Structure 1
Amino acid sequence: MARVSQEHLDARRRQILDGAALCFARNGFHATSMQDVLKEVDLSAGAVYRYFRGKDELIRAIVTEVLDDIRTSFEQAARQTPPPPPHELISAVMGQVLREREGLRIDGTPYFPRLVVQVWTETLRNEELAAVIQSGYARVLAAWVGIVKGYQEAGMMRADADPDAVARTMVASAQGFLIQQALFGEESVATLRAGLSGLMSMGETG
């Protein structure tokens, strides 16, 4: 029997994750069955269950991947000296996250913001998923705290500012941007960048 390459295995796993994410974003977690996922990805049950034991495992994998992508982007920025200012950094990370999922759309609009809202809603009843979200959020927050401290060391931010409070506020701006996309339609990342830049300009003269 011919050996299946790792590239093929990775591509198949990607196919399943993307198809499941579209199903969940379209109909929600409870209204989506594994049969719906199988139909979306056009694979047999055996092919899918080789990678994921069920719907809950699929959900955890999708959520963990997204949080890891966001955390990695912020951590990479934190290694720059000094880090890019918030309006550039947040808009760049959000733009990257959306571009990586650009081909996955529902009725012509990106699926990702809708999926985020579905995930947050599910955490209110699913303690296991809530734990995954809490752990991922803690890692993202830690990356942002490092960025804020980088601002302070570079003299870009007041030394007496609370890094944790600033980090939570910056993360909230990214979360709010995704909610607006999910509820009110596709919005340009440039709008997020311009808005944050405008807020940061307060106190400047001229």
Structure 2
Amino acid sequence: MPRLTDARKELRRAQIAEAAVRCFGRNGLERTSIADITAESGLSAGSIYAHYRNKADLVQAAAREVLAKRAAVLGEYAASDAPPDPDELLTRLIAAIDPAEARVGVQTWGEATTDPVIRGIVVDMIDQMRAMLRDCVTAWLVKVEHQEPAAARERATPIAHRVSALYQAELLYTALRSPTEETAS
């Protein structure tokens, strides 16, 4: 059997992580089995285990997959000549919420209350998201509000914390909406 290139391995890992997100969103973390993920991805269990040691690794990969999407968007905002102000930033983030990903996020938060491995993943993801939001708000303060970078970064920290909290509240709200409500909006 030919060996997978590094690029192909990353594509396969992403394929598995995306299938895991769909399964977790549909069935929940606890009720999703590796067999569900193999069926969803179209790959064998052996292929899944060649890329991930266990379900916790898949949860981490799924969380990172979702965070990577947010990171790309936030990076574009921060790099633009006129980054969005915090209100517009929050509006854009909320508009981009995927209901299935929101359900996975909330389920993961729930698991984090009793599983130290999942807790570590969640804390890491929240910290990374806040850091990206801080960078975006700092860019807005520097480029649009013309503040000095050091002062802007200090001022951006509590603003990013509030934007993060409001975003998480919207994720929870979205996760709790029924599929019927999702299609009606």
TM-score range with shorter-chain normalisation? 0.7 to 0.9
Amino acid across the alignment from 1:53 = R
Amino acid across the alignment from 2:104 = L
State the structure with more CA Rg.
1
2:53 matched to 1:64?
no
Unaligned segments of structure 2, at least 5 residues: none
Q: Following TM superposition, by how much is the alpha carbon of 1:117 offset from its aligned partner in structure 2, in angstroms?
A: 1.0
86-95 or 131-140, which deviates more: 86-95
Question: CA offsets per residue over residues 145-177 of structure 1, 9 Å max, x none?
Answer: 2333334333389x8994222111111222222
88-97 or 164-173, which deviates more: 88-97
Q: Which of the two has greater helix per residue?
A: 2
Q: Contact (CA 8 Å) 1:74, 1:140: kept in 2 or not?
A: no
Question: CA offsets per residue over residues 171-201 of structure 1, 9 Å max, x none?
Answer: 1222222222111242899xxxxxxxxxxxx
Partner of 2:105: 116
CA RMSD of aligned residues (A): 3.1
**TM-score of the aligned structures, taking structure 1 as reference length:** 0.70
Q: Following TM superposition, by how much is the alpha carbon of 1:119 offset from its aligned partner in structure 2, in angstroms?
A: 1.1
Number of residue equivalences: 177
- Secondary structure class of the residue paired with 2:19: helix
2:157 matched to 1:164?
yes
Q: Following TM superposition, by how much is the alpha carbon of 1:10 offset from its aligned partner in structure 2, in angstroms?
A: 4.0
Tell me the distance in 2 between the aligned counterparts of 1:16 and 1:9. 11
Q: Contact (CA 8 Å) 1:70, 1:97: kept in 2 or not?
A: no
Partner of 1:199: none
**TM-score of the aligned structures, taking structure 2 as reference length:** 0.77
Partner of 1:177: 170
- Which of 122, 127, 134 is 1:145 aligned to? 134
- Secondary structure class of the residue paired with 2:37: helix
Question: CA offsets per residue over residues 59-110 of structure 1, 9 Å max, x none?
Answer: 1111122223323322331223331223433333444564xxxxxxxxxxx4
